[in-house]
Amino acid sequence: MARFFAAYVRLLRLLDWAIVLASIALGLGCFQLVRQLEVRSDFKEMLPEKYPSVRQLKAIEQRVRATASLLLLVGGEDWPAMRRFIDDFASRARAELPDIINRVDINAEEVRQFFDTNKYLYIDLPDLEEIQKRLKHHIDKEKLKVAGLYTEFHEEPFDISDIAMPRWRSWSSNPTSAPLT
Residue 138: Cβ within 10 Å count = 15
Do residues 120 and 181 both lie within one domain? yes
Percent of the chain with pLDDT over 70: 88
Residues 170 and 126 grouped into a single domain: yes
Residue of higher predicted confidence among 28 and 169:
28
pLDDT at 165: 56
In a shared domain, residues 137 and 154: yes
Cβ atoms 123, 115 nearer than 8 A:
no
Q: In terms of domains, do 138 and 87 share one?
A: no
Q: Is 109's pLDDT higher than 70?
A: yes
Question: DSSP secondary structure string, 123-181?
Answer: --HHHHHHHHHHHHHHHHHHHHHHHT----SS------HHHHHHHHHHHHH-GGGS---
Domain that holds residue 67: 43-106
Average pLDDT estimate for 94-117: 81
**pLDDT band per the 50, 70, 90 thresholds, residue 100:** confident
My answer on whether 100 and 143 are in the same domain is no
Does residue 160 have a pLDDT over 70? yes
- The pTM assigned to this predicted structure is 0.36
Mean pLDDT over 151-156 rounds to: 79
- Inform me whether the pLDDT recorded for 34 exceeds 70: yes
